[in-house]
């Protein structure tokens, strides 16, 4: 598939590895950065979502999304993302992604407002549960735009090119491809969210590590079963 991800905000908190490990399926290992585990909250907007070779359709191809995620690998290989939830503002896309990619998508009422200075996101889950599962974030991009360097925490958190999913007790891996994110630091002005709690996790009270990216164009490949 082809799609573009725009106006991405990456919010991360350090979390005790033992809080995350029980939520992972067999076959996946929690990926750590210098012994530290992270939970991420990532709101953004999807543009031009479509199968390869077909045109985009405005009412179907453009919608907002927010995901809750952590980082994993398989026996030290293919570091990727494990999603606790993905909320999206398109019923058809939610149903299709749940069926074809076995991902925990939820239909939500969402908004994204961008001004010359700030970006604000809002999300309220409608179905399926658990609920409440809401998010309201306003942030300001600050600082120099740059590609994250290999070995840095920013690279560990942002540059992920595999995703994992399960279905009927089987583990699957999907791959995405895009150029590196044009990342810059961000300042969070307001944050209220219950998406992490809805995933059964406790968010630390500290302010998150925040980054912003204007966007990338993405290729998404089909799932492959991991035996």
- Domains annotated on the chain, with CATH: 2-226 (2.40.400.10)
The pair of structure tokens assigned to 6 is: 């725009």
Question: What pLDDT is attached to residue 56?
Answer: 66
Within 10 angstroms of residue 174's Cβ, the number of other Cβ atoms is 19
Helices (H), 56-173: 58-61, 91-100, 153-158
- Is the confidence at residue 62, as pLDDT, over 70? yes
Give the percent of the chain with pLDDT over 70: 97
Q: How far apart are CA 174 and CA 176, in angstroms?
A: 7
pTM value is: 0.95
Question: What pLDDT is attached to residue 52?
Answer: 78
Is residue 123 within 8 Å of residue 109, measured between CB atoms? yes
Q: How far apart are CA 50 and CA 52, in angstroms?
A: 6
The pair of structure tokens assigned to 167 is: 């279905």
Which of 84, 83, 216, 207 is CA-nearest to residue 148?
A: 216
Is residue 217 within 8 Å of residue 176, measured between CB atoms? no
- Is the confidence at residue 11, as pLDDT, over 80? yes
Question: What pLDDT is attached to residue 167?
Answer: 93
Question: What pLDDT is attached to residue 8?
Answer: 98
Question: What pLDDT is attached to residue 59?
Answer: 66
Mean pLDDT computed over every residue of the chain: 95
What residues pair up with 14 in beta bridges, in sequence order? 38
């Amino acid at each position: 598939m082809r799609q573009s991800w725009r106006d991405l905000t990456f919010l991360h908190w350090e979390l005790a590895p033992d809080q995350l490990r029980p939520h992972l399926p067999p076959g996946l290992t929690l990926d750590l950065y210098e012994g530290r585990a992270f939970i991420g909250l990532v709101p953004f907007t999807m543009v031009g979502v479509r199968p390869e070779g077909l045109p985009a359709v405005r009412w179907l191809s453009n919608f907002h999304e927010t995901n809750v995620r952590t980082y994993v690998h398989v026996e030290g290989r293919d570091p990727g993302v494990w999603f606790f939830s993905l909320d999206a503002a398109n019923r058809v896309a939610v149903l299709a992604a749940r069926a074809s990619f076995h991902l925990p998508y939820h239909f939500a009422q969402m908004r994204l407002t961008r001004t010359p200075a700030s970006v604000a996101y809002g999300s309220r889950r409608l179905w399926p549960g658990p609920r409440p599962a809401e998010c309201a974030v306003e942030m300001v991009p600050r600082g120099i735009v740059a590609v994250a360097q290999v070995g840095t925490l920013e690279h560990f958190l942002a540059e992920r090119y595999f995703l994992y999913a399960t279905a009927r007790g089987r583990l699957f891996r999907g791959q995405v491809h895009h150029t590196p994110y044009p990342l810059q630091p961000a300042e969070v002005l307001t944050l209220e969210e219950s998406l992490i709690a809805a995933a059964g996790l406790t968010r630390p009270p500290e302010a998150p590590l925040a980054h912003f990216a204007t966007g990338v164009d993405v290729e998404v490949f089909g799932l492959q079963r991991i035996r």
